[in-house]
Every structure is written in C-alpha cells, then in structure tokens.
Structure 1
C-alpha cells in the first residue's frame, strides 16, 4: 500500500531519542502527544461514520450558503420572542373603581374626586375599595351629601380607570376584581398552545419536511400576530394567543432541525447559539416598543408589520438534504447539495455525490412509538423531558417571584435579556472545551446554586433577591441553548423534530405547574421544588452520551452506542488483525500503522485519554 510506505518513511526520518527525552523531561512521557493523536484519529473515524458530513465538507463547511441560512434564522427568532412575550405587556397594571356615573344625573358639576367620595366606600386603610360601590338611590344631591349612602354591592356598570396612562387589555375588557384571574388564564392558554403545537409541528416537520413546517409556522406568526390587534373580546384574544404559541414552538422545532442537518461541527453549535441570542434581542426590542406605544393593539400591529417580510422565505429557504435522503428523495437531495455548492463556489466530487443513495430500510414509517421500542431513544426522551420540565418550571417560578417583588415588567425583560445574550455567548467556550454533556451539567449546577441561595436568603433583602433571581435566569438561558443543541444531536433525522416536540410537552407542563403552585402554596415551596428538580435533572444528565465531534445518525438502525466504541479507542485496541478487515479504508489502515509505529518509538505504558 502506497500510503503505508509513506507513513513508515516519515516515521523513520524522525529522531525518536530526541522526542523521548523531551517527553520524559516534561514528566509525562509521550502520553500528551498520544492523546492529541488519538483525538485526531477519533475525529477522522467519526467522519468516516457520517458520510453526509463529508458531503457537507465538500459543499463548503461554512460558506456563503451556510452563512445565509444562519442569517435567515435571525428575523424569525426576533419575531418569535416579540409575540411570545407581548402577552406580558398588554396587562399593564391599572387601578380601577366602580363606574358610578349615575350620580352625575343629580350632580352634573361634581368633580371626579367628589364623585368617588360620595359613591365608593373606603377600606380600613382609608383607600377607596376597587370592587364595591354604594347602590344608587332616588334622592337629590343635597340629600345624598347630608345623609350619605350605606348599602354596598359589587360594581354594576363596569369600571373606570382615572389613573390609566395606556390602553391595555385590563381596562378594555375589565379584567379586574372577579375577572382578575383571567390574566393567568391567558398565560395558561399560551402554554396549552405550546403543548399542542409541539405535537403537531413535531409530526409535520418529520412527515412533510423542515421547509413547509417553517413556512407554516411563519404564516401563523403573521396571521395570528397581526390579527390579535383586531380582536373584539377577551375569548377571541385567547384564541389568537393559542395560535401564536403554536407558531412559535413550530418555528423553534423546525429551524433547529434544519440548522442541525445543514451544519457540521462547531458551526452547528454557533448557529443555534446565535439564533437564541437574537431571540433575546427580540425580547429587548419588544420592551422598547411596548414602552413607547400608548395602546396595546398598536403593539401587535407593529409586530405584524415587522413579520410580513417573512413571506419571502417561500423563495429563499432551503430544505434539509438529510431529510430528503431519508425520505427516499435522492434526486432532490443531490440537487439541493449541488445548489449549495454552487453558491459556495465549490464542486462536489462525483464519487461523494454517488454515495447519496436510498436508505437500506424504509424509514418513512417511523413514528412516536419507535421511542418506546428503542431503549436508547427512550432514555434520551425521558432524560431531556425531565431537564426541560425543570428548566421551564424554574424559569417561570423565578420570573413570577420577581413579579411578586414589585419589579416592573420592563425591567423583568430588559435586564435578563441582556444577560441571556452574554450567557449564550459563554456557551461557545463551554461547548468547545468540555462538550455538550458537561456543559449541560455545569449550567444545571449553577441553577442549583442560585436556587439554594434563594431558599436561604432572608425575605428583607429585596435587592439581593432580585440579583440572585437574575443570575438564575442567566444560568437557565445557557441551559436552554445547550439543551436544544444536545437534544437535536442525540436524535435521529427521521424522528428529530418529533423528539423535540415531545420534550416541549414537558416545557409546557412545567410552566403551567409553576403558575398553579406559586398561586396556591407558601412562598418557600416553589423555590424548594426548583432545587429538588434541578438536582434530579443534574444527576440524570450524566446518563446521556457525549455528542461533540460525533456523527449525526439518520435512521433508527444507526445505534448511538457505536459512538462510545470510537470514543474509547486506544492504541492497545489496534492490532495487525485489524488491517486484515476487507471493509477497512486506506485511511483507517494508515491510522493503525501510525499507532503501531508510535508504540515502537515510545515503549512505555500509555495513559488512556479521559
């Protein structure tokens, strides 16, 4: 073999004794160099396992086409955050009083203060009661002033909002007194939409493709987002929020699937991190716009207008070639790859393009039931569902706790969003240095620490509590980013979106449970549950395999346990018998020979890489 002789000649030309003395002087004879070499060998081996990664390398690892694809995720991410959090800004706090305009019939010249003083009872603290009024009487104004009114009842003719500076859902649909709980109903309805949408869009994305699922979710954002500005009842508002939440979760699932399958290596992680950073930017943009607008309907009109350009994605968004290949659409997959290569000004070698063949087994029949049949996938879904439930429950609990402390809605979104951008950018370093598994563990450990601090902080330290709450949201933002990347890499192409949809179910459940518990239990219990859940999620995260520098697997018969065999490969595992295998490639043979030669040069025990 020509490659074999080249490797031998290159190794003979090296000064073995010089290398040996250098490593001995370092105190760790040649173990470091072998670890570096084995890392390269493992990386090369994974590329052999993932032939599609070789195709993407030939297309251009991160060329113009891939950069454009990543940029296309920015605007929808901004708009998703805009419509998702807009529901918090339409419930601006208002101080209502019963509408007692009946007294103006007998005293048309009464001032607003005099009207309230005559018709609204006061509480023990001397303030006017917001949900009670004096019943009207057929007296003249002098008699009312002289004798006063005594009989009270609930507000009969609606409410007035004398101190209102903005038009909100509260003063438009009178969501006060007995109807005040409808504000939480709106949040629960939004989470119910995420719950239903995760199932629907998970199935649509895997059955119909990433491209139509993204277009459908963007269309939903435009229709339901813009249409919310024209609702004429609170129940219709709930219906449109339900549609918006389905669109938001649908875009999240389909866009992450598309980015995961088009990008390789560190670029995949960077793309998802940037997408989440722009999600936080969308929350900050929303805060600025909501602060400046006087009417809640204008907020949705502006959002709908900003989302209209997303219609152009019909002509510029690509489909995933991995998904096309697994669905048997080989011709379309090749066309998509060739188009991407032409944009990157690359040429795909014909031998690589010929490797795009129909899958050995029919995978179009993959379904949710396969998660129960495959033990590894079942473990992934259960662990990630636990993690996502914990993250969602903890995030909403911390957010609601901050609201209880009287922090303004604008502060609750601007400051955490700014910190979330930095938290997600920190994930770039974490993911490169310690991988997906340990990054998830580190961010969960940070969450545990902040929750424990909250549990033992005295109630009087308001500023310190707000700081710890903000740091908790900082850690959770990093956890979410690592979680999405890690989950997408653990799932097969044929069920990637369905799996993401299943773990989103846990997210909606955690959010709904948080709203329920924090309103009906003592203040320490929700935070205590955050600590317990975070510890459980932290422990379970170690059950999952590492995916850094590992190939994506496309079908159910491509077992993820094969990754561990590559990961644990050492020089002792290589022998001359390996070279006799018929299916070994020339490059693999080179690696075996190289290991054997190094063992001859360095005849000392070799420590296994961590």
Structure 2
C-alpha cells in the first residue's frame, strides 16, 4: 500500500515549491521575537525619585540637587532612596534647612525620571517600587496568551486546516500588535499583549505543521529549523531596533506594522495536502500536489496519483486519543514535560538579560547570534545523532549551565554572561529539536492537537518563569537553581522516547509500523530520500485514507 511520503517523493522532497513555502513560513517568525521578548527593552530601569515638588511652594529657586537633599533620604550607600521621601510639612524653607526632616513615607505624588529619558513603558506607567512587579506579571499574562493560543489554535488547525488558522493568526497579531502602541493604560496594554500572544502561538504551531507535512522525511529538520533561524535573526534585529528607537510607542509600531505586509498570504499560502487527504478532500489534495509538482518541474505518475482516493473517509483523531492510546500517552506526557522544562530554562535566560551585568543590547545581540548558531547546528545534530539523544543531552547541558550560574558571584558578569550564552545555545537547540521531534511523534490527524498540548505545557512554564524571578528577593541564586534543575530532570525522561530519525510520518492513531521499519536511510545512519525506483514499484499498490 502506498504511503503519502511516496507522493512527496514523486513531486520532489524539497524542491522549489517547498523552499518557497519555507520562506513564507519564515517571514512571520522573523517578526515574532519583538512580541516575545521586546518588553525587556521598553522597561529598562532608570534612576527615579519621589516627586517632591511640594517644597517648590516655599523654595522656588532650589536647584534639583538641593531639593533632593532636603526631601529624599539616603540609603546605606549614600545614594538617594528611590521609593521613599520625607513627609511634607507646612514649614518655611529656613526651618526645613535648619532642622531637617525626619519622618518618611512612600512616594505619594508619583516619581521623577531623568528629563532626557525617552518615554518608556516604565516611565509612562510608573513600573517602579510597589508597581515594579507589574513588569513580570505582564510577561506572565503574555505567556498566558501563548497558552490560550496553543489550546485554541492547535485543535482548530486539525479541524479546519493549517492555512486558515495561520491567516487568522497573522491578522490578529497585525491588528492588536499595532494597537499596543496606542493603549492609554497599562492594564489595556496587558490585555492587548495577551491577544497578540495567542496569535503568535497560532503562527508557531501552524508553521510547524505546514513545514513538516510538505517535505520528505530527510528534509523535515531542515524545513523546520530554517524558520527557527529566522526567529534567531529576528532577535538580532530586535537588539539593533531597540537600541536605535528608545521611544516605546514608536518601537511598538516599528516592530508590529511590518506584519501587515504579509496579508498577501491570502493568495499564495497553500493548504497541507496531507491534511486534505486525512479529511477526505481528495480532489483538493490532487490539485495542490499537481501544482507543487509543476513548480518543482516534476511529474507525478498518473497511476500513482490515481491511487489517491478514499474507500472510506479517514476517521478523525480525537484530543482524547493522546491519553486513550497507550503508545500516544507515553509520548504525550514525556514531550509535554520536555516542552515545559525547555520553555522554563529558555525564558528564564531570555528574560534575565538585564541581570547578567553587561550592556543589555550587546547581550541580546550575542543571544541572537548564538541562537542562530544553535538553530543551524541543530540541523546537523539531529541528522547525525538522532532526535532522542539531541533532545535529552541539550536539555541536560542547558540545565547544568544554569546550575553553575547560580553559584557564580555577582561581581563576575563576564563569566555569568558566557555561561548564560552557552545555556541559551543549548536551550535554543533543544527547543528546535522538540518542534521537529513532536511533529514526527504525533499522527497527522491529531498532530496539531499533540503539538498544541505540548506547547500549552511550554506556555505554562512561560507563565511561571517571570514569577520565579521574583524569588530573587529571597536569594539571588534561587531562580537559576530552579531554571537549572528542571531541564536536567526533563532531559533524563527524554531517553524513554522512541527514535524517529528518517521515519515516515504516521497519519492515523493506530500506531502503525515501528519507526525502525519506516526509516528511509542508508547504511551510514544518515537520512536519505527514497529512490525513484520505489515510486514505480508502488504503482501496483493502493493509497487508502481509511
């Protein structure tokens, strides 16, 4: 019986059509880093003091330094307190200078920031002192949006198709991403960012499905990881963009408006032929397969194309199959755990960029560069060592780096940053591995549901990661100790998963043949495309989507 991979092999496993598709899927991911971690650069901490303009009523000619000296207490290091002030009194200036003020209170009239400072999220919405935690809370709200996006768009993509979900996600991200630049209140900002995050999540998991379902087995890592490389390049662009544009509203516009240029996808983005077949839409599947073959300058043998028919329509998979089927339950639980710990360490390092002691723009540029290297190297690592070993070892490496950072003194910023960069390399490569691995482990009929559930686990970790940073007030090593120990545990669990290198994708939930029997590889263990002769031999077979 012919498998769908034989049709992909006939039209070309990674021809011009697939390369064009990968380019289309890469463009949204080029813009996504701004939404994912852009807030780090619009909430940069600046010196601030309580607004003590009340003293101007009795001392209008006081200099700024004299005003601070009279109305703001100093800390143990001799610097002005940023979150407290002397309580206002109705004395004359001479009495204030002669006797001084003693009673203190929290800032009651707002804060004063450097006059040369461009408007930032921190200065406009006063995210300082008692409101400082709102920054991390808003990041958690964003991660909640990613969670909701995975929960909504994963199953929806399995139900209505990959193409419409991707188009809807692009529209939502464009509209609400630009809307963030015009919000009047911080809580509205958080709500809009949450909606943007749902769209970002939809784009990530839907691009994964299209990227894997249109290419041959040996090219799947390359297709997925090329899009991830664009995500890394987007991080480097983010560093330069945020360095050059310090006004947070202008930065939001610059980072969000280009998404509107992708509306032309309505006319050029194809649906997954594999998904169409599993839904019994055979004529539509034939049309897109023939179009792909034409662009690749290949011809699908008429006899082979004629076998693309359903005797009975494919039985749709259910979200419950992920737990009802024994072989899927194990995969689902372990991959969800892997995504969870991977997300925890990835965002733990990414959102901590301001705490490593070096210039944040330079550190972000280094993070983007090392992430690009990680995504590229992952293409070869997955091919040489397989999915299971890469996933497990990379998680272990990321965790060990964080555990070492937890023990590094605070006065060693260079050592801390170098270790963080190594950890970011491992976490990024591991994240890429998990995308490829998950797409290969879950059947087509519930692939988006499985990836969506794994992504939901990752988003729960994303919600928790900013909140874990709040534990730093008890001891600076606590957050990194948590970020490090979790991936070590997850990495060990990954050794229990089956290997899928070179295996044909499974379409239904029945389990199918073992991965080892479906491998397309040579004696070297390196994945290679099926031979042309195989297609001719399969002409006597029969494709069934039942």
Q: TM-score, normalised by structure 1?
A: 0.81
Please state how far the C-alpha of 1:567 moved relative to its aligned partner: 6.1
Please state how far the C-alpha of 1:150 moved relative to its aligned partner: 3.4
Please state how far the C-alpha of 1:350 moved relative to its aligned partner: 1.4
Q: Which one of the candidate residues 94, 102, 125 is aligned to 1:142?
A: 94
**Tell me, what secondary structure is at the counterpart of 1:314?**
helix
Please state how far the C-alpha of 1:528 moved relative to its aligned partner: 4.1
| 2-structure distance, mates of 1:239, 1:458 | 38
Q: TM-score, normalised by structure 2?
A: 0.90
- Determine whether 1:409 maps to 2:394: no
Q: Which one of the candidate residues 351, 366, 376 is aligned to 2:327?
A: 376
2:470 alignment partner in structure 1: 519
- Indicate conservation of the 8 Å contact 1:435/1:547, yes or no: yes
Change (3 A) 1:452 1:106: closer
Change (3 A) 1:421 1:174: same
**Tell me, what secondary structure is at the counterpart of 2:85?**
strand
Change (3 A) 1:460 1:347: same
Change (3 A) 1:451 1:211: same
Change (3 A) 1:458 1:351: same
- Indicate conservation of the 8 Å contact 2:406/2:480, yes or no: yes
Please state how far the C-alpha of 1:519 moved relative to its aligned partner: 2.5
- Determine whether 1:78 maps to 2:30: yes
Q: Which one of the candidate residues 356, 363, 372 is aligned to 2:315?
A: 363
Q: Which one of the candidate residues 72, 81, 93 is aligned to 1:120?
A: 72
| 1-structure distance, mates of 2:306, 2:148 | 41
| Deviations 1:316-359 (CA, angstroms, capped at 9, x unpaired) | 10000111111111111111112212222322221111121227
Which stretch shows the higher mean deviation, 201-210 or 441-450? Answer: 441-450
| Deviations 1:73-120 (CA, angstroms, capped at 9, x unpaired) | 221011111221111111011221111222223332222222222222
Q: Which one of the candidate residues 208, 232, 235 is aligned to 2:160?
A: 208
**Tell me, what secondary structure is at the counterpart of 2:495?**
helix
1:169 alignment partner in structure 2: 121
2:500 alignment partner in structure 1: 547
Please state how far the C-alpha of 1:223 moved relative to its aligned partner: 0.9
Please state how far the C-alpha of 1:469 moved relative to its aligned partner: 1.6
**Alignment of structure 1 residues 435-450 onto 2, 5 Å:** 435-450=386-401
Change (3 A) 1:113 1:556: same
1:426 alignment partner in structure 2: 377
Q: Which one of the candidate residues 32, 41, 45 is aligned to 1:89?
A: 41
| 2-structure distance, mates of 1:54, 1:176 | 60
| 1-structure distance, mates of 2:110, 2:409 | 41
1:221 alignment partner in structure 2: 173
1:40 alignment partner in structure 2: none
Change (3 A) 1:141 1:195: same
- Determine whether 1:305 maps to 2:271: no
2:530 alignment partner in structure 1: none
Change (3 A) 1:83 1:527: closer
Change (3 A) 1:307 1:586: closer
- Indicate conservation of the 8 Å contact 1:326/1:358, yes or no: no
**Alignment of structure 1 residues 382-397 onto 2, 5 Å:** 382-397=333-348
- Indicate conservation of the 8 Å contact 1:94/1:164, yes or no: no
- Determine whether 1:178 maps to 2:130: yes
Q: CA RMSD in A?
A: 2.6
- Indicate conservation of the 8 Å contact 2:358/2:413, yes or no: no
| 1-structure distance, mates of 2:289, 2:351 | 47
2:525 alignment partner in structure 1: none
Q: Which one of the candidate residues 449, 465, 486 is aligned to 1:498?
A: 449
Change (3 A) 1:226 1:269: same
| 1-structure distance, mates of 2:287, 2:336 | 37
- Determine whether 1:153 maps to 2:86: no
| Deviations 1:426-460 (CA, angstroms, capped at 9, x unpaired) | 11221222222222233234335434544565665
Change (3 A) 1:82 1:71: same
- Determine whether 1:481 maps to 2:432: yes
Q: Which one of the candidate residues 205, 212, 215 is aligned to 1:253?
A: 205
| 2-structure distance, mates of 1:84, 1:384 | 22
| Deviations 1:452-481 (CA, angstroms, capped at 9, x unpaired) | 544565665442222112101111111111
| 2-structure distance, mates of 1:300, 1:567 | 46
Which stretch shows the higher mean deviation, 164-173 or 451-460? Answer: 451-460
1:574 alignment partner in structure 2: none
Q: How many residues align?
A: 526
- Determine whether 1:398 maps to 2:349: yes
Change (3 A) 1:233 1:104: same
Change (3 A) 1:160 1:313: same
1:338 alignment partner in structure 2: 290
**Tell me, what secondary structure is at the counterpart of 1:123?**
coil
Change (3 A) 1:407 1:189: farther
| 2-structure distance, mates of 1:127, 1:121 | 8
Change (3 A) 1:107 1:527: closer
Change (3 A) 1:97 1:535: closer
Structure 1, unaligned runs of 5 or more: 1-47, 570-583, 589-610
Bigger Rg over Cα: 1
1:607 alignment partner in structure 2: none
Q: Which one of the candidate residues 106, 111, 125 is aligned to 2:63?
A: 111
| 2-structure distance, mates of 1:226, 1:455 | 38
Change (3 A) 1:487 1:123: same
Structure 2, unaligned runs of 5 or more: 522-533, 539-546
| 2-structure distance, mates of 1:451, 1:382 | 24
Which stretch shows the higher mean deviation, 117-126 or 346-355? Answer: 117-126
Which stretch shows the higher mean deviation, 438-447 or 414-423? Answer: 438-447
